[in-house]
Chains A and B, each alone.
Chain A
Amino acid sequence: MGAGVCFVASAIRRSSFLKYFFLNLYVILSLCADLLRQFVLRFYGLDSSEYSYAYYYTDCLLTVALFVAVISLASRVFAELNLGKHVRTVAVLLLLGTAGFSYAVVAQSAHRLVTMFAFELSQNLYFVGLVLTYLLWGAVLKLQETRTRVVQMVLSLGLYFSAYAGSFALANLAPKYVFVQYLGPILGCFLPISWSLTLLRHSEDSRLTPARLVAVPR
């Protein structure tokens, strides 16, 4: 939770709150969701239905916010090619497509339809975000993006998604080990910490130095 506060504080201090509004929005929503979850957890307990509902509904909201954050970074990367409008069109189509697909999966079940839809949408949108982030990585490499902040934020997102996929694999391969269940909460701190470090260490004008040309003797 402290990492999230640190990110928002550093964004305000560096006058970058509005420049990275959707990243800040995701972190703020994440803070609110954590507070709500802790409140419900304290009153009802880990194995209660109330905590399950609070957790999965807030997770759905956060996954949508994270998706929007990825799209905002994609808009920045493609802005110089004047493709910002098309990025937004693709994002809306993706969101509608994912929602439609999720509904089609859970439509058979009349029981707890809304909860199952929220759960399915959250899971599906996570994988869409994962694929989008890797595509964004590819675009950053291909377009030779040099803005340090954008590059590091996209790299952090890629690492974050990859680490979660890794922890999911570990949870399936070695469910008996206790440390596996703590991996998720530990990884939850990674994104705000890495974004905070990016904002604090680099200014908006920082550029990555391109690799030096190798002199080839004739």
Chain B
Amino acid sequence: MSRKLGALALALGILVGAMELKTLVTAHSKGAVIMANGVSPVPVKLPPAN
């Protein structure tokens, strides 16, 4: 039981840390996006229509 709770706590910790990091990194972004896959050029259009 404690190991399951430990795994849950670890997963939550990593998720919170990652989202904190994302907030820090993208807070001052000027519309650029992080796309870390492949060698193709990043499209001009962004899909999110906020």
Contact = CB atoms under 8 A, between A and B. Distances in A.
Contact of A109 (B7, B33, B43, B50): B50
A168 interface: yes
Given A93-B8, A127-B21, A52 B45 contact: yes
Contacts of A116: 47-49
A128 B15 contact: yes
Nearest to A51: B43
The main secondary structure of chain B at its interface with chain A is: loop
A131 interface: yes
Contacts, number: 148
Which range holds the interface residue count of chain B?
A: 35 or more
Interface stretch (A5-13, A56-64, A147-155, A202-210): A56-64
Nearest to B12: A97
Interface of B: 3-4, 6-8, 10-12, 14-15, 17-19, 21-22, 25, 28-30, 32-50
